[in-house]
């Protein structure tokens, strides 16, 4: 029986975004504060995914051996290092989170049955590489606060309460929504970036955070005047709003994960949709 196991590891390192072929003004325009000398640091968290059959001892791999390999090939070399100088690969490509996840994958692949490397630069920013040439994903986590009411206007309060429970109360209720936006694309062989992070953050701010934050969704966001703002429909709407802006940045919207509460979340798998028209279609709401 094939099984994927994951091993976590950590290291602290610094890096700088700077291309010697560009002058100082060009580097600062391209990389912002990331171009500052001598650089900046992160506490990286690494998840290595490995696959295989479950053996007679109930294991895919001996995790003690896995730990030693990851330490020998990766963390002992990167911990408390300046990434730009530590590996030869970074003579040609910048040590972005995306590029670093790929190079870690490539360095572990001869020693372990690696299928994915997920690297967290921070709890709000991470990349994942699965061995597909220069393609990787980059995820950004942010949040907004909003109120909503779950109710179909053509139904009575009693009927809506049967469907939505307490969420149908007439004055609504609120959440601190957390959203994880994942984009996919080819890493630039020089900058190591899928997309300009500042431009991606700006697109999310413009198309999602500003229109949704501190609103009563049913009343302040025209879309939800006709569509019940369930977590599923909110996530779908975010995907609809971001699909074109992300494409203009040269990437592809991969996933939108919405966390409404610790007990309730949903994911829109944008690239797995049968057709792109699914993201453009209005949700169909059944009246019970």
| 266 is a catalytic site residue | no
3-state secondary structure of 85: helix
| 3 is a catalytic site residue | no
Domain boundaries, position 98 = 1-131
Based on the fold, state whether residues 265 and 144 are members of the same structural domain: yes
Per-residue pLDDT tens digits for 3-17: 999 999 999 999 999
Longest dimension (CA), the chain: 68
Domain count, the chain: 2
H helix or E strand, kind and range, residue 136: strand 135-148
Q: Give the active site residue among 175, 257, 260, 270.
A: 260
Instruction: List 11's β-bridge partners, or say none.
Output: 44
Based on the fold, state whether residues 152 and 278 are members of the same structural domain: yes
Place of tokens 């934050």: 213
The answer to whether 206 and 238 have CB atoms below 8 angstroms apart is no
Q: Which residues of 180-217 are buried (b: 16+ CB within 10 A; e: fewer)?
A: bbbbbbbbbeebbbbbbbeebeebbeebbeebbeebbb
Q: Give the active site residue among 26, 214, 244, 282.
A: 214
Per-residue pLDDT of the chain (288 residues; tens, 9 = 90+): 689 999 999 999 999 999 999 999 999 999 999 999 999 999 999 999 999 999 999 999 999 999 999 999 999 999 999 999 999 999 999 999 999 999 999 999 999 999 999 999 999 999 999 999 999 999 999 999 999 999 999 999 999 999 999 999 999 999 999 999 999 999 999 999 999 999 999 999 999 999 999 999 999 999 999 999 999 999 999 999 999 999 999 999 999 999 999 999 999 999 876 445 566 655 434 332
Query: How many C-beta neighbours within 10 Å does residue 281 have?
Result: 11
Q: Which bin fits 32, alpha (ψ -120 to 50), beta or left (φ > 0)?
A: left
CATH code (residue 2): 3.30.479.10
Per-residue pLDDT tens digits for 88-120: 999 999 999 999 999 999 999 999 999 999 999
Based on the fold, state whether residues 170 and 210 are members of the same structural domain: yes
Q: Which of 81, 112, 131 is the last residue of a domain?
A: 131
Place of tokens 């001892």: 57
Q: Which bin fits 59, alpha (ψ -120 to 50), beta or left (φ > 0)?
A: beta
| 21 is a catalytic site residue | no
3-state secondary structure of 192: coil
């Amino acid at each position: 029986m094939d099984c994927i196991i994951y091993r976590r590891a950590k290291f602290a390192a610094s890096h700088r975004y700077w291309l010697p072929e560009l002058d100082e003004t060009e580097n600062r325009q391209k990389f912002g504060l990331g171009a500052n000398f001598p650089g900046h640091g992160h506490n990286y968290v690494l998840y290595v995914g490995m696959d295989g059959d479950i053996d007679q001892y109930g294991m895919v791999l001996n995790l003690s051996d896995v730990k030693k390999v990851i330490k020998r090939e990766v963390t002992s070399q990167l911990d408390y290092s300046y990434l730009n100088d530590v590996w030869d690969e970074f003579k040609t490509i910048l040590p972005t989170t995306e590029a670093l996840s790929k190079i870690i994958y490539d360095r572990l692949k001869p020693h372990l049955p690696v299928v994915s490397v997920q690297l967290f630069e921070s709890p709000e920013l991470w990349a994942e590489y699965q061995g597909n040439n220069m393609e990787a994903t980059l995820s950004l986590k942010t949040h907004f606060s909003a109120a909503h009411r779950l109710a179909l206007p053509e139904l009575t309060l009693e009927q809506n309460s049967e469907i939505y429970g307490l969420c149908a109360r007439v004055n609504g209720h609120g959440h601190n929504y957390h959203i994880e936006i994942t984009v996919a694309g080819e890493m630039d062989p020089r900058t190591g970036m899928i997309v300009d992070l500042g431009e991606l953050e700006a697109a999310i701010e413009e198309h999602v955070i500003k229109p949704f934050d501190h609103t009563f969704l049913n009343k302040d966001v025209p879309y939800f005047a006709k569509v019940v703002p369930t977590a599923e429909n909110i996530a779908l709407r975010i995907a609809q709003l971001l699909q074109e802006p992300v494409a203009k940045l040269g990437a592809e919207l991969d996933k939108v994960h919405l966390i409404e509460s610790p007990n309730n979340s949903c994911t829109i798998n944008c690239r797995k949709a049968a057709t792109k028209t699914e993201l453009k279609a209005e949700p169909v709401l059944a009246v019970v």
